[in-house]
Structure 1
């Protein structure tokens, strides 16, 4: 029975899933554990208060407590998973609403891992300053819009569901370490669930459907039919893969500089539409805000940006 092809296929899929979970979790732990330890040290030294105060003006624009600025700053400089590790430490002590968690998740989805991802977009042909400005200002602008929509119309004002454990109140390192181990274990479970969900989506054709929906509209955003499929892949899978495809296409001379910039700018605002979205859903973000709203916002920003650049290019040509 165990030699039946179906059982072998299932066994192979389970082994691959387990291997991917272990690999991804190992990478997560290498990044997250030092970040969580540094956060604890900052907390013990009383520096979290000062960091929160420094970040409070920006976070308040989006209706968020200053302490969450440390979560976003961690995500900007490292990874979303490291940011989730800091969120696991801080969130249980904050009284957050579903709307606030959604705003935080949304800005992290737009602006995270900037040192790594911007180096990729630079290699692919987009300048550091324009892409950095698009991501940081885009995240802030979308966060402000989403906050005002939520507060004005009373959307997602219920208390957020925080799945992570708070500190027990005991001032022992053992108690703190136990709590963090639980939270890390929970993140590993989340990773496993995300990997399962992505495989199921691929099997039932949801990823192909998303690609089919996006591909026809991208020419409206300054991309040819040749560039659109590469952009869609980057939006769904992530900047690392999408950027690599564009770098490869560039070597063949298949894309001009304007088209590359438009593609990379859109990818910068909306990428990892499956994995990253699932991660933010797992910590309490609402799908309408972190997926549909972000996607529509990204398309609108690039639509306007393309036309503004075209207008100035025509004006410069006419003047010359």
Structure 2
């Protein structure tokens, strides 16, 4: 089980780098930063989890795989139907979350959401304007969150600081529902792949937000 937890941690942070790297670059995060942050982050967190589990003797039992893949069909119609169902399911989840956020806004509860997330966002050095983007990206994935971030950037809603820190945070901790459930099927430890990943991401971005690099980035882009 410990090995599956370590492997799951590596996959959760270090997957889909080409696609999500392009998305982050469009939002303003250079390729080398995305690759360095996510590859190094995956290796460091996986190493920490491995050491903790080894020292305390946790997760030494055999993993029980809950997911058994079905035999793939060689008919393209079956594949197209399966992909269509997956896309519809993703669309339904995105629509539901967007409607929920809009309902919260119309009911005047957006301030409550901001208040609840204020301690986390303050720790991350991220402004209130990025609340919705951060929530959607963390729950649904970097691609969706960064897509909304790019929209807000084009509208002038998002600050230069947020446009850099949000994709960095989402690179380390995104899609906490779908990806976490998938890795859980491999019998990984929930507290490690979700709790440790969240704490690690918050810690790394909190440190990054307080480095001179961020101030230099803001000054450079403002001058241009």
State the Cα RMSD in Å.
3.2
Relative to structure 1, the CA distance from residue 246 to residue 113 in structure 2 (aligned partners, 3 Å threshold; closer, same or farther) is: same
Q: Which moved more, 1:248-257 or 1:283-292?
A: 248-257
Q: Does 1:259 align with 2:162?
A: yes
| C-alpha contact (below 8 Å) 1:146/1:289 kept by paired residues | yes
Partner residue of 1:162 out of 65, 68, 76: 65
1:99 aligns with 2:99: no
Q: Which of 136, 144, 148 is the aligned partner of 1:241?
A: 144
Q: TM-score, normalised by structure 2?
A: 0.74
Compared with structure 1, are the counterparts of its residues 156 and 164 closer, same or farther at alpha carbon in structure 2 (3 Å cutoff)? same
Greater relative CO, 1 or 2 (CA 8 Å, sep 6+) = 2
Aligned partners of 1:215 and 1:232 also within 8 Å: no
Q: Does 1:270 align with 2:160?
A: no
Quote the residue 2:108 is aligned against.
none
- TM-score w.r.t. the length of structure 1 is 0.53
Distance in structure 1 (CA, Å) of the matches to 2:169 and 2:115: 16
Confirm or deny that 1:301 pairs with 2:204.
yes
Partner in structure 2 of residue 181 of structure 1: 71
Q: Is the 8 A contact 1:214 1:232 kept in 2?
A: no
Distance of aligned partners of 1:293 and 1:214 in 2 relative to their CA distance in 1, 3 Å threshold: farther
- Deviation readout 1:36-90 (Å, 9 max, x if unpaired): xxxxxxxxxxxxxxxxxxxxxxxxxxxxxxxxxxxxxxxxxxxxxxxxxxxxxxx
| 2:76 alignment partner in structure 1 | none
TM-superposed deviation, 1:218: 1.1
For these two proteins, the number of residue pairs brought into alignment is: 188
Tell me the residue number matched to 1:37: none
> What are the within-5 Å matches in structure 2 for residues 148-159 of structure 1?
148-159=51-62
Structure 1: which 4+ aligned runs deviate by more than 4 Å? 211-214, 310-314
Specify every segment of 5 or more residues in structure 1 that has no aligned partner in the other structure, as ranges: 1-97, 166-178, 183-187
Aligned to 1:286: 189
Q: Distance in 1 between matches of 2:181 and 2:115?
A: 19
- Aligned CA distance change for structure 1 residues 156 and 214 (closer, same or farther; 3 Å): farther
Aligned residues of 2:172 and 2:201 also touching (Cα < 8 A): yes
For residues 183 and 202 of structure 2, the distance between their equivalents in structure 1, rounded to whole angstroms, comes to 20
Q: Using the TM superposition, give the Cα deviation of residue 126 of structure 1 relative to its aligned residue in structure 2, in angstroms.
A: 1.1
Pick one of 99, 103, 117 that aligns with 1:215. 117
Say if 1:112 and 1:254 are closer, same or farther in 2 by CA, change over 3 A: same
Give secondary structure in 2 for the equivalent of 1:156. Answer: coil
